[in-house]
A = this chain, B = another copy of it.
């Protein structure tokens, strides 16, 4: 199939539709409004629903309602809007309902700015709302991956009855690149015998719920859910290795910054520095095992992010603190250049 030139935000919307999503609920916020615009134009033509809710909170709860009936449903927002959805995401995770949430991050905290950021890393990977829970977190680094991971997110979400988040940023959302939609996961939604989709008198009523007054019952459910999370961690972790086999300085970076890092690594190699890059594609589950293996051969790690160093502890834990972990990042919507990153690599290479 021919490639199409598209914005990242549009690629996600198109990929969602191709993955069978017919229910989109949103509320406008820069820099992700193109998602809703695309949905608003396309959905009515294909019998789908694009609804601008009265608030972010309404939107995420509409996703819960729709997805609880078994359909593939999604919402999208940017950082402050995702915070507003925290309660709803926790409800969805606590109800074992699969769905897709897109966060096209902008600079924070608060209203912050409208330039790209990765400063919701901790929120996305550790605290999508209250309670013990995990959700899939995918970090695309190209418009193609914006599309491909959307299909993946729906497929894995359905497989494990878990919500999934695409954690993108304003740069990826606005960037135009060619996309091949034949590459997206075309796994059809499985039969959802748990869904509250009308029993027609043929089976007992399905109930979707996250309230369990008996603590024993609630604990049992949480523990079982964490068993499922373990299976996910073992089987669904995704990452990309770039020149890590003999690398002494290994960069760890995801999303838009991983592209900058790749260029910097290539340049470092040209200068004779053994640099490499480990790019987590799933931020949860986190690629702990491969990082542990790399820690055996690498001398040190350099985390590069658009925030104040939120992923550093994850690399430390994944590598059992075996090798030093440095950090380089920009925040508030600023992007480093490959030269900036290369300078960091050179400094580390010189043992500074």
Q: Which residues of A contact B (CB under 8 A)?
A: 47, 51, 54, 57-58, 79-84, 86-87, 90-95, 105, 107-115, 117, 119-120, 122-123, 126-127, 129-133, 209-223, 226, 307-308, 310, 313-314, 316-317, 320-322, 330-334
Hey, which chain B residues are within 8 Å of A47, CB to CB?
47
**A109-B210, A222-B332 in contact; A127/B130 too (CB < 8 A)?**
no
**A330-B219, A331-B223 in contact; A109/B126 too (CB < 8 A)?**
no
Copies in the complex: 4
Cα separation A183 to B208 with both chains bound (whole Å): 45
> Could you tell me the distance in whole angstroms from the C-beta of A86 to the nearest C-beta in chain B?
4
| Cβ B307 vs Cβ A132 within 8 A | yes
Closest-by-CB residue of B relative to A78 is: B130
| Cβ B212 vs Cβ A113 within 8 A | yes
| Cβ B84 vs Cβ A87 within 8 A | yes
**A112-B94, A123-B130, A215-B115 in contact; A83/B80 too (CB < 8 A)?**
no
| Cβ B332 vs Cβ A219 within 8 A | yes
Hey, which chain B residues are within 8 Å of A115, CB to CB?
215
Hey, which chain B residues are within 8 Å of A217, CB to CB?
332
| Cβ B83 vs Cβ A214 within 8 A | no
**A123-B127, A332-B215 in contact; A54/B54 too (CB < 8 A)?**
yes
CB pairs A–B below 8 angstroms (14 shown): A54-B54, A80-B91, A84-B87, A92-B110, A109-B130, A109-B133, A112-B218, A114-B213, A119-B131, A122-B126, A123-B127, A123-B129, A215-B332, A223-B331
